[in-house]
Amino acid sequence: MRIRLLLAMLFCTAIASAQPEGVNAHGGNIIKVDDTWYWYGENRPYRGFTTEVGVEVYTSKDLKSWEDAGVALAVSEEKGSPIERGCIMERPKVVFCQKTGKYVMLFHLELKGKGYEAAQVGFAVSDTPTGPFKFLRALRPNPGKWPANFSKKDKKKALALKQSDYKDWWTEPWREAIKDGLFLVRDMEGGQMSRDMTVYIDTDGKAYQITSSEDNLTLHMNELTDDFLGFTGRFIRIAPGGQNEAPTIFKKDDTYWLITSGCTGWDPNAARMFSAKSLWGPWEQHPNPCKGPGADKTFGGQGTYILQTGEGFIFMADQWNPRHLRDSKHLWLPITFTADGKPQIVKE
Ligand code: GAL
């Protein structure tokens, strides 16, 4: 067991120092099918912020040398399509659905010409890992639903909030109202916002999307249907008002660990960490897991995925270059554990 763990850690360290260059796949994830790794991510232009190509996929046998396998999900040339060229596709995550035998992609979608106001989740599906994925739909999760971790009293309190009383953001009363569900109630009819996101498949095969909701102020964990192509309507809020983005998650032994960033756009900030014994919470916050010079800025990166390789875990992050997003670098670091079992990301 120990040797396996050590090997996994050594493997992670080797991978971490071999940061892949020139891979135009950002904000994405990696899956393994048979003996091949598939790396999905945002194909970003040299200039500008909109999606002109789609989601790119690369393949590798060793996680070190990568081959471009083309566009997994292409933007549409059709005017008015939700994924029309010029939309914004971010943080794509591909998972395999055991039940249907299909590869499913979820991603953050912003509609063309609408900035970041749509805050939707896109769904696409494919029979093969390289695609082409077929776009199915885009939506906001959970219209008309209350979070599973909201009591009757919480609902009453949230419903009593008047939007017009909180026109000014960032005041103390506004912060309290946000925690109590001001924006949750605001968006209840049309569905909850969903921006930075990841997808996690639990050990029992059930899948969840974890996303930055309520104007990036509160995380939501949304249960997916058995075919992973929609939401069941069951969800919880995590860290209300905590301003978390870039969610990444893994499970070790009986604990789920969630590592996120703060909200400073393309600029790096200090990572945050939460743990829970059940995905449904309660989630407890811990100090920043990063250690070493630059730890207060996640070493210039922002998390996108935690990749499990055998017994080891790799924290995958993007070092964004907003002037030329295509040239944003990849930072991969092994997750190790302190003597008391807490994850840490160390860079000397
Ligand atoms: C970041 C976010 C990125 C992207 C960017 C746009 O905070 O993590 O995925 O949305 O903002 O400014």
Residue pLDDT, tens place only, 188-234? 999 999 999 999 999 999 999 999 999 999 999 999 999 999 999 99
- Please list, in sequence order, all residues whose beta carbon lies within 8 angstroms of the beta carbon of residue 270, skipping any fewer than 6 positions away: 261, 262, 288, 290, 295, 296, 297, 298
Ligand 1 centre to CA of 304 (Å) is: 11
Residues 158, 243: Cα–Cα separation, whole Å: 19
Average pLDDT, whole number, for the chain? 94
pLDDT, mean of residues 29-39: 98
Query: pLDDT band at 311, cuts 50/70/90?
Result: confident
> What pLDDT is recorded for position 81?
98
Which 3 state secondary structure label does DSSP give 219? strand
Residue owning the nearest CA to atom 5 of ligand 1: 265
Query: Is residue 54 pLDDT above 50, yes or no?
Result: yes
Ligand 1 center to 266 CA (angstroms):
6
Cα(142)–Cα(146) distance, integer angstroms: 8
Ligand 1 centre and the CA of 212: distance in Å?
11
Cα–ligand 1 centroid distance for 264 (angstroms):
8
Please report which confidence band the pLDDT of residue 12 belongs to, taking 50, 70 and 90 as the band edges.
Answer: very low
Helix axes 152-159, 172-180, angle to 10 degrees: 130
Nearest atom in ligand 1 to the alpha carbon of residue 245 is 8
171 Cα–ligand 1 center, Å: 24
Residue nearest ligand 1's atom 2 by CA: 265
Q: What are phi and psi of 345, to 5 degrees?
A: -120, 105
Q: Closest Cα to atom 9, ligand 1: which residue?
A: 196
**CA–CA separation, 174 vs 176, rounded Å?**
5
2-145+188-346 belongs to CATH 2.115.10.20: yes
Q: Which atom of ligand 1 is nearest to the CA of 264?
A: 7
Omega within 30 of 0 (cis) for the link into 282:
yes
The whole-model pTM stands at 0.94
Mean pLDDT, residues 248-261: 98
pLDDT of residue 4: 40
Q: What is the pLDDT of residues 61-81, one digit of tens each?
A: 999 999 999 999 999 999 999
Q: Does the CB atom of residue 110 touch ligand 1 within 6 A?
A: no
Neighbours of 269 (CB within 10 A): 18
What is residue 22's predicted lDDT score, i.e. its pLDDT?
Answer: 84
Nearest protein CA to atom 8 of ligand 1, as residue: 246
Share of the chain above pLDDT 90, in %: 93
Q: Over range 4-30, report the average pLDDT.
A: 61
Q: What torsion do the CA atoms of 283, 118, 103, 209 make, to the nearest 10 degrees?
A: 10
Residues 6+ apart with CB under 8 A from 252: 313, 337, 341, 343
Say how many C-beta atoms besides its own lie within 10 A of residue 197's C-beta: 26
